[in-house]
Amino acid sequence: MEASMTIFTLNNLSRRGFLGGLAALAATPALSLTSREAERLVSGLVGDINAAIGSGKSEAAMIGDFTRIFGRYGDVPAIARSALGPTARSLSSSELSSYTQAFQGYIGRKYGKRFREFIGGRIEVNGARQAGRFYEVSTTAFLRGESPFEVTFIVSDRSGQDRFVNMLIEGVNLLATERVEITALLDRNRGNVGGLINDLQRAG
Amino acid sequence: MNRFAILATLAFLTGCAAAPDGAGVNDPLEGLNRGVHGFNKGVDTLALRPVSQVYGTVVPDPVRTGVDNFSDNLGLPGVIVNNTLQGDLESAASNTGRFLVNSTFGLLGILDPATELGAPKRDTDFGETLHVWGVGEGAYVELPVLGPSTTRDTAGFIVDVFLDPLDAVLESPESDYRLGARGAEIANTRYRFGDTVDGILYESADSYAQSRLIYLQNRRFELGIEDPSSSLGPADTDGSLYDDLYFE
């Protein structure tokens, strides 16, 4: 929101005159660098998603694209650990790394194969705001034959780089739905992480 | 049903409200709900899913959209009553204009010129009216055939049936056309969101828990309730979920 207000202000600079514009800028609260970076990250992400949607590739190629996009823009290790919950603490580092890899492939297949529903659609970035220790970047998805709907990306720089750590589609929290899914898969395997990894490699 | 019975039902259903709004999942009837969920999955597998695939394949998209519009338009008077009960007179006025335009220029609601004219549908129901009046969400329930709901929304659904002004006016065969269009609209929704619904019902490890979570989060979003259980959202100010995400 703040960022779009700033853009609005800049667009109006010439119309309002330079001094008036300066006054408007001074009145606008200083935008933190990270909020701007969060928006930039999601703009890049959305640009790559839009390019993948528009490429007209096969489903398999789309899944590959989405898996790469997820790895490039998402904090995959953190999302994977959070989806597993406290169990993650008891994993050895090699178990954790094969679980994380299986999780990334599962997410790539699960959402990548849905990409054909998005053909002819696009996502637009509306703006970013700080929310607690995170940044929320608001976007609108326009899909063919559907009313536009809200998709919010949650961005964090805790990994050392700006990465998205969650996504909310019309209020539905994707990390929360994956927690339910991973918990159910782990229960099905009676808490055995090797079984969970096997299931994940086939799921999605 | 007489007025007393409706009030008694309402009082019972909303009386189940235990957890504060937006606080995770309140599901004391989980055992029963899971039984109903199994039944609903059977209904989907045997009836709704195959019917929706035939309907979506055989009937062209513009015709299905026209039927959806027709059904939506006949639902508007009930929506306007709820807009008014919520004190949202702006939406009531917008929806009234929409109903008048689409019922006439939109050929009995088959077309939707009102959206182009700046009056898109502002949907609501008596469940939302109860929320506006301060009634809590209550317990999660999965209703036979109708699917995920809460005790508050179930009470709202029952009241909406009696609150609908068109229901009192329409007689057979017009009321049958309406019922048919509503059925077709449900089939079309199942068709349009086919892969999403299939993913939740048939591909997830616990389809009951998935549909419960998705329903509650989306419904709270519709009602404008901030969900403190929604991790990594705006409500996560104490950082506990952050630590969960990045535990050291």
3-state DSSP assignment of residue A168: strand
Side by side, the strands of the sheet bearing A149-156 are A122-131, A134-142, A149-156, A163-169, A172-173
Token pair listed for B22: 């937006």
Chain B residues near residue A134 by CB distance under 8 angstroms = 232, 236, 242
Per-residue pLDDT of chain B (248 residues; tens, 9 = 90+): 444 454 444 444 444 444 444 558 999 999 999 999 999 999 999 999 999 999 999 999 999 999 999 999 999 999 999 999 999 999 999 999 999 999 999 999 999 999 989 899 899 999 999 999 999 999 999 999 999 999 999 999 999 999 888 888 888 888 889 899 999 999 999 998 888 899 899 999 999 999 999 999 999 999 998 755 444 443 333 334 444 444 32
Task: Note the pLDDT tens digit of each residue in A152-180.
Answer: 999 988 888 889 999 999 999 999 999 99
In this prediction, residue A59 has a pLDDT band, given cuts at 50, 70 and 90, of confident
Quick check: A181 and B204 CB within 8 A? yes
Q: Averaged over A198-202, what is the pLDDT?
A: 92
Does residue A84 carry a pLDDT above 70?
A: yes
pLDDT score recorded for residue A10: 37
Q: Taking residues A61-82, what's their average pLDDT?
A: 91
Would you state the pLDDT for residue B227? 59
Mean pLDDT of A131-141: 89
What's the Rg (C-alpha) of chain B? 20
Q: What is the pLDDT of residue B91?
A: 96
Q: Do B61 and A172 touch (CB under 8 A)?
A: no
* Across A73-93, average pLDDT: 92
Using an 8 Å Cβ cutoff, are A155 and A164 in contact?
yes
- The pLDDT of residue B228 is 52
Instruction: Spell out the residues 6+ positions from residue A72 whose beta carbon is closer than 8 angstroms to its own.
Output: A48
**pLDDT of amino acid A68:** 92
Would you call A114 an interface residue with chain B, using a CB distance cutoff of 8 Å? Answer: yes
* pLDDT of res. A144: 80
The DSSP letter of residue A17 is: -
Two structure tokens written together for B213: 């979570």
In B44-125, which ranges are continuous DSSP H helix?
49-58, 61-85, 89-104, 113-116
- The pLDDT assigned to A52 comes to 85
Q: What is the pLDDT of residue A33?
A: 52
Q: CB burial class (10 A; 0-12, 13-18, 19+) of residue B50?
A: exposed
Tokens of A139: 């976007």
Put simply, whether A1 touches B (Cβ < 8 Å) is no
Number of Cβ within a 10 Å radius of residue B156: 25
- The ipTM value here is 0.78
Distance CA B31, CA B216 (A): 18
**SS3 category, B227:** coil
The rounded Cα B118 to chain-centroid distance in angstroms is 23
Whether A178 and chain B come into contact, CB under 8 Å, resolves to no
Specify the pLDDT at position B75: 94
Give the CA count within 13 Å in the CB-facing half-sphere of B10. 18
The first and second tokens of residue B196, run together, are 């999403």
Residue of B30, B55, B56 whose CA lies nearest to B211? B30
- Residue with more model confidence, B71 or A58: B71
Residue A189 or residue B195, greater confidence: A189
pLDDT the model gives residue B7: 46
pLDDT reported for residue B20: 45
Sign of torsion, CA A68 A72 A74 A76?
positive
Q: What is the pLDDT of residues A17-44, one digit of tens each?
A: 444 444 444 444 444 557 788 888 988 9
Residue A58's pLDDT is what?
Answer: 84
What are B141's two structure tokens? 């329930």
Q: What is the pLDDT of residue B173?
A: 85
Which pLDDT band, with edges at 50, 70 and 90, does A56 fall under?
confident
Q: How far is A19 from chain B (nearest CA, A)?
A: 37
Nearest-CB residue to B242 (from A133, A168, A199):
A133
Name every chain B residue with its beta carbon within 8 A of the beta carbon of A158: 242, 245-246
DSSP state of A122: E
pLDDT at B142: 97
Q: Which own/partner contact pairs does B243-246 have at CB distance under 8 Å and 24+ positions apart?
A: B244/A82, B244/A85, B245/A78, B245/A81, B245/A82, B245/A156, B245/A158, B245/A165, B246/A78, B246/A158
* Neighbouring C-beta atoms of residue A93, cutoff 10 Å: 7
